[in-house]
Structure 1
């Protein structure tokens, strides 16, 4: 039997934590263990965790203490300490659909089997992700697609797209041991401040070294509480036009656009320390990290040739950065 670990990072999540935990233990597939790391909660979260630990003593493992400083650091900390065949991550204030785990694992096994037939070598890194329904704090639905709500496209899964326009949230991901091993081999060598989030790092490595598989269906309720680490933010075309106009008037338009892509270039620079990167992809990432030094025509040609593209607002990206 395969060992499936669901990683849950908690911090002062008392208000919504029970709903998330109940949704996990109502999954149609129950062959998982839950690993929780509490990052120093002071609101009664630890007491709720203790209650569920007493109810499911064989299913739950808890790490206390060792404050990590944020969701990114917390999940990477757990990944380094938890041994399993497959990993999923969940957030304390969301709610999973009952079939979330089952569909994720079915898609994962299918992808691994397809790769095994094609490659006939060791298991390759695979990451599956799903969409989510965006809700308010009472679980009233705001949007039936988190990915599209934030202006992304679930089909944009090339490594040159993910590095600038990651479509996946970590709390929807399911990935295999091979991918986890690559991630934790890299984290001691990189500056985490230059990594957007743990989900971007995991998905980028999967796209470079193996396979990314989207499930274009919502399988999680993503609760907007006002305290999310990375909230679901959207804006109309009119709002965006007005914001850009104000930025142009204020002289910050191009500065903001370049800053956005410079974050992606720093991300690429960190990935270059991995000695297992394929030579061709490493060369593309190396050139991307330094492309700002080139003229506009060379930048545009490089982006087009290597499929550096966004789901939306691609024109300004290609023209100016």
Structure 2
């Protein structure tokens, strides 16, 4: 194992004392151990910091702890944690999940097989098993239970929503250099990372659940596209979800438009759309081939307003 295999883990915490020991235990049991965990806390009022400081990984010098005063929220706290990852590859980590032992090794291998010596921005991600509070299985596969797509890899796939949970991601330094500075007004960090990887690099999927993704009442976002699947007809879901989805999509595309002013792109068809240069027929063509990750009626409504 060389220094080039170092993985920096960005772990954002807030009142995570109930589950964070199990998450740290699962990192301790990874087959790949050339790691440094950057724990950024957003003003926890429970025992989160005490649990972290008492863990063996902290005693071994594999955890760097950055307490905060609070008020950042999940996106900005993760942005802070990612900024702390100054060397190697970057993996994102939620405070309440559980990683299978091969997670880091398999995702690292996937990135390295595509990154062309580190010059190419690459994002690798895996499937997830959805579990309850005591890690009992609810769904063996996130992507088979969800309306999200594991095949999402092009910019148009991320216009309406994100498909890739941050906790399933591992990416290289070339991609980190592109995603920073992360815009203030995007909904979540993982959506931005996925969009930039799709636009300027390579996205690759490992078809294996490498995370036990815990569902509980305190999830910041929860497993997208699962719990509401088949609960509402398209028309009601569209009416209820359209304003918020439209707002988040608009903010993402506005940030991407600014990004494209500073970076070259081979996605000329997509650029015409976000610049407002595409006609209805062109937008429809792009929408039809996109994996939107939302119900059809809602996706059509968002694309119509792009």
Same topology, TM > 0.5: yes
Query: Is contact 1:268-1:288 (8 Å) kept?
Result: yes
Structure 2: segments with no counterpart, 5+ residues: none
Distance change >3 Å, CA 258–CA 225, structure 1 → 2: closer
Equivalent residue in structure 2 for 1:30, among 33, 38, 47: 33
Provide the rounded CA distance (Å) in 1 between the counterparts of 2:131 and 2:253. 33
- Asked if 1 retains the 8 angstrom alpha-carbon contact of 2:52 and 2:58, the reply is no
Whether 1:39 and 2:24 are equivalent positions in the alignment is no
For residues 91 and 54 of structure 1, the distance between their equivalents in structure 2, rounded to whole angstroms, comes to 16
Please say which of residues 6-15 and 160-169 is displaced more in the overlay: 160-169
Structure 1 unaligned regions, length at least 5: 117-121, 248-252
User: Does the aligned pair in 1 maintain the 2:155–2:199 contact within 8 Å?
Assistant: yes
The alpha carbon displacement at 1:178 in A equals: 1.1
Structure 2 partner of 1:112: 115
What residue number does 1:284 align with?
270
> Contact 1:149/1:234 (CA < 8 Å) preserved in 2?
no
Deviation of residue 80 (structure 1)? 2.1
Q: Deviations over 1:268-296 (max 9, x none)?
A: 111222243325547734633648xx8xx
- The answer to whether 1:260 aligns with 2:256 is no
Larger % of helix: which?
1
Distance across 2 between alignment mates of 1:166 and 1:63: 28
**What is the CA-CA distance between 1:316 and the residue it aligns to?**
5.5
Q: Structure 1 residues 319, 179: CA separation in 2 closer, same or farther (over 3 Å shift)?
A: closer
State how far apart, in whole Å, the 1-side matches of 2:229 and 2:219 are: 21
Distance 1:180 1:229 in 2: 23
The residue that corresponds to 2:98 in the other structure is 95
- How far apart in 1 are the matches of 2:172 and 2:187? 21
Aligned to 2:200: 209
Against the structure 1 CA distance between its residues 53 and 156, is the aligned structure 2 distance closer, same or farther, given a 3 Å change threshold? same
TM-score scaled to structure 2, two decimals? 0.87
Deviations 1:197-217 (A, max 9, x none): 100111111111110111121
Question: Helix, strand or coil: the match of 1:240?
Answer: coil
**Correspondence for 2:255:** 270
Q: Structure 1 residue aligned with 2:283, among 302, 305, 308?
A: 302
Contact 2:126/2:169 (CA < 8 Å) preserved in 1?
yes
Counterpart contact for 1:143–1:149, Cα < 8 Å: yes
Aligned to 1:240: 232
Q: How many residues in Structure 1 have an aligned counterpart in Structure 2?
A: 296
Deviation at 1:40, TM superposition (A): 1.0
How far is the alpha carbon of 1:319 from its aligned partner?
Answer: 6.8
Distance in 1, Cα, partners of 2:229 & 2:57: 48
| Deviation of the 1:318 alpha carbon | 3.5
Mapped to 1, the partners of 2:216 and 2:10 lie a distance apart of 21
- The SS at the match of 1:138 is coil
- Equivalent in the alignment of 1:125: 121
Instruction: Note closer, same or farther for the CA distance 1:67–1:311 as it changes in structure 2 (3 Å cut).
Output: closer
Q: 1:149-178: per-residue Cα shift (whole Å, max 9, x none)?
A: 331110121111023232110011000111
Matches within 5 A, 1:164-243: 164-184=160-180, 186-187=181-182, 190=183, 192-193=184-185, 195-232=186-223, 233-237=226-230, 239-241=231-233
Matches within 5 A, 1:62-101: 62-67=65-70, 69-101=72-104
Q: Taking structure 1 as the reference length, what is the TM-score of the superposition?
A: 0.83
Measured against aligned partners, the alpha-carbon deviations of 1:216-244 in whole angstroms (never above 9, x if no partner) come to 2110001111111111243343x322x73
Change (3 A) 1:8 1:269: same
Shift of residue 309, structure 1, vs aligned partner: 3.9
* SS of equivalent residue, structure 1 residue 218: strand
